[in-house]
Amino acid sequence: MKSCQKLRIAVAAWILVAGHAALAAPARPATWSGDLTPIAASEWNERTAAHLLERAGFGGTPAEIAEFAKLGAVAAVRRLVHFEGVSEVALPPFDHSGVHDPGLEPFPPSRPATTNLASKNGKALGIKVKPSGNRRLQPVVNKFFYWLRASRLETDRVGYWWADRMLRSPRPLQEKIALFWHGHFAVNEDKVRDYRKHLQLLQIFHEHGLGNFRELLVATAKSPGMLSFLDAGVNVKGAPNENFAREIMELFTLGVGHYTEHDIREAARAFTGWNYKDLGFVINELQHDTADKTVLGRTGNFSGEDIVDILLEKPADEFIAAKLYRYFVHDDPSRETVSKLAEVLRSNDFRIAALMETIFLSRDFYSAESVGTIIKSPVQLAVSTYRKLELDRVPGVPDFNTATATLGQHLFNAPTVAGWAQGRAWITPGLLIARKNFAYDLMFPDINFIPSDRYPDDPLIRSVSKRLEDGANISNATKPPGVEDIENMSMANLMADMDQDFNTRYGSYRGWQMALEKVKPIPRYTAGFDLAGIVARERLTTVESIVDHFFKRLLSVPASSAQRAQLLEVLRTELGTDDIEAARSYVEDALRVLVHRIMSLPEYQLG
């Protein structure tokens, strides 16, 4: 459609001409953009402190912002990046429910593989096949579905444990950078099917996230979670599987275009034999290809680790620096900025902390392009909301994982190997409405809330349970709806269940039940906000001061005067008076309405 093209060119020309004017007068000196020199002491204030806390962590309360403003730029950044003056993290380790047992290892890739194994060996998953009777493999199948359910539920508990750390850690950057790496080295529980492997990866990100990138990459590449997700186990001598090598080059270090397909095939050979057993990395020597490989112009009998070293000689520095920049600063870095930051990374032996320190101290970081321009990810939105409203635990109502999943970011469930697309990808009309509804659910807890870890969302399983309760036998309890009519017409259906070795739907139901018995329930406390307490502590005695205070507390960009006027009116109407003191006994409800409105603003999505 030639007119398609013409239209785009015409629009582009117009924007070039007309756009000039608007960009001339931003809120801050335009010269700060791209300026990597450190911000001066005189340029450090509460606004810059608030921005730093937002980006290097999950936002700050007014008290924290004031404290960081007093520290000055250098001390503030060093506290966040190097944990100077910060105690060790005294948060509890993950509290396992105890759902795993050694009999489950190695876990077969599918239910058919499991039942085949059981038929062949007389047992699988640590469960024996019944010697006689109907449905001899049922216990094995039950155990299979049990593990799928239990691991999924336990993975969500890991999500809660991590959210709690994000909320309370005295080292917020450690959690924020772990969240970044979690998206960079993405895996999905749908495929991994083992909560312990997610925990392992998370521990690697906690330990190495601000350290040397080479060590981080090697630890991640050797971690069973990543190895299983990228099919490393089927990458063997004579039949290299390129998935692992491809993702390491394309997604983890270089980006598309800096290697050839041949490089990938050769690199895959170097990784042959890399595998895992339970939670440990192993190299299967027999399956490792020891012949010479040629990758990116270098030839030799390379091992997997050698490949990592070769990759880090190439523009991995630019790739990583650019990605970190887009995550922490803004999504349009200039070539020059990327180049300079890559140099910082390289000259510091790929130490991430050094790069982050440079970024966080730079004037560019505090420029108009950077402040209040990043669209908060769902996890950032949730946790920063909890922080800024001074919660000391992650609410169980609404459910953190359900909320963030609805918004598009379910921890440990990245949609593809490429992780989550950032920025504008978080926003669709439906998702914007969903963000408003998250605010509503926080401020006005749903009295019809159903805990997702205690209630299967598959109506067929719920129906199985009901029919068993009502006295149906397994065959009838597990038949999908609508089949009763067919059954009347076909005797064959009645006979069909008799010689079955197992019933999968029953296994699904029983597996869920077994998981429920083991997995610890997530505590279902609501947020329990005390907004009236904040108003009292901050000594806010007028409608104006209250609205302004919550604007300042919650927003990273200023509200418009029209928005302010409207919300003043809302608060007055809810209170029925301008006299805050007189309304003190019922002010909480009015404040909930106010905060819900503020959180519903498009501006609230910016951090």
Partner 1 sequence: MRHTDIFDTQRRNLLRLGAFGSAYGLMAPFLGGFAAARESLADNRILVVLELSGGNDGLNTVVPFRNDAYYKLRPTIGLKKNDLRMIDAEYGLNSNMAGMVKLYKDGRMAIIHGVGYPQPSFSHFNSMAYWHTAEPNSGATFGWVGRLADVLLEKNAPYPIVNVDATQSLAVRSRRHVPVVFDDPARFVPKGAPFDVSESASDAAGNTSQAFLRDVARSAKEASVKVRDAWQNYKSPIDYGLVSLDLPKVASLIEARMPTRLYYTSFRNNAFDTHVQQGNLHSRLLTYFSDALYAFMQDMERIGRADDVMVLVFSEFGRRAAENSNRGTDHGTANVMFAVGKGIKGGHYGAPPDLTKLDETDNLIYTTDFRQVLASVIEDWLKCPNAQDVLNEKFEKIGVFG
Q: Are strands 127-128 and 293-295 parallel, antiparallel or unpaired?
A: unpaired
Q: At what angle do helices 504-518 and 459-469 cross, to 10 degrees?
A: 90
The answer to whether the Cα torsion of 415, 417, 422, 425 is positive or negative is negative
Under rule CB under 8 A, which residues in 74-103 are in contact with partner 1?
none
Instruction: State the minimum distance, in angstroms, from the CB of residue 460 to partner 1.
Output: 10
184 binds partner 1 (CB under 8 A): no
Environment class of 451 (CB within 10 Å of its CB; exposed 0-12, middle 13-18, buried 19+): middle
Backbone angles phi, psi at 230, to 5 degrees: -100, 20
Name the DSSP class of 57: S
Task: Tell me which of 153, 177, 417, 571 binds partner 1, using CB under 8 A.
Answer: 417
Q: Are 112 and 128 in contact (CB under 8 A)?
A: no
Task: Tell me which of 21, 41, 90, 489 binds partner 1, using CB under 8 A.
Answer: 21
User: Which residue stretch of 106-114, 336-344, 511-519, 579-587 sits at the interface with partner 1 (rule: CB under 8 A)?
Assistant: 106-114
User: Which residue stretch of 58-66, 354-362, 436-444, 581-589 sits at the interface with partner 1 (rule: CB under 8 A)?
Assistant: 436-444
Instruction: State the minimum distance, in angstroms, from the CB of residue 80 to partner 1.
Output: 23
User: Which residue stretch of 7-15, 65-73, 93-101, 544-552 sits at the interface with partner 1 (rule: CB under 8 A)?
Assistant: 7-15
Under rule CB under 8 A, which residues in 348-407 are in contact with partner 1?
368, 372-375, 405-406
430 binds partner 1 (CB under 8 A): yes
Read off the amino acid at residue 462: R
Extract the tokens encoding 466.
Answer: 């009901």
- CB neighbours (10 Å) of residue 606? 16
Task: Tell me which of 96, 111, 130, 346 binds partner 1, using CB under 8 A.
Answer: 111
Residues 224-243 as x/- pattern, contact with partner 1 by CB under 8 A: -------x----------xx
Q: Are 324 and 355 in contact (CB under 8 A)?
A: yes
Q: Name 301's Cβ contacts closer than 8 Å, sequence gap at least 6.
A: 290, 291, 292, 293
In the complex with partner 1, the residue whose CB is nearer, 262 or 537, is 262
Measure the CA–CA gap between 414 and 420, rounded to whole angstroms.
Answer: 6
In the complex with partner 1, the residue whose CB is nearer, 521 or 576, is 576
Q: Are 226 and 198 in contact (CB under 8 A)?
A: no
In the complex with partner 1, the residue whose CB is nearer, 45 or 416, is 416
In the complex with partner 1, the residue whose CB is nearer, 23 or 286, is 23
Q: Are 248 and 306 in contact (CB under 8 A)?
A: no
Instruction: State the minimum distance, in angstroms, from the CB of residue 526 to partner 1.
Output: 16
**Cα angle: 88, vertex 93, 96; to 5 degrees:** 175
Read off the amino acid at residue 87: S
436 binds partner 1 (CB under 8 A): yes
Task: Tell me which of 14, 455, 525, 586 binds partner 1, using CB under 8 A.
Answer: 14
Torsion angle, alpha carbons of 124, 125, 127, 133, to 10: -50
In the complex with partner 1, the residue whose CB is nearer, 430 or 523, is 430
Task: Tell me which of 163, 352, 567, 594 binds partner 1, using CB under 8 A.
Answer: 567
What SS3 state is found at 512?
helix
Residues 448-487 as x/- pattern, contact with partner 1 by CB under 8 A: --------------------------------x-xx--x-
In the complex with partner 1, the residue whose CB is nearer, 109 or 211, is 109
66 binds partner 1 (CB under 8 A): no
Instruction: State the minimum distance, in angstroms, from the CB of residue 78 to partner 1.
Output: 29
Total residues in contact with partner 1, by rule CB under 8 A: 88
In the complex with partner 1, the residue whose CB is nearer, 68 or 144, is 144
The answer to whether the Cα torsion of 334, 340, 343, 347 is positive or negative is negative
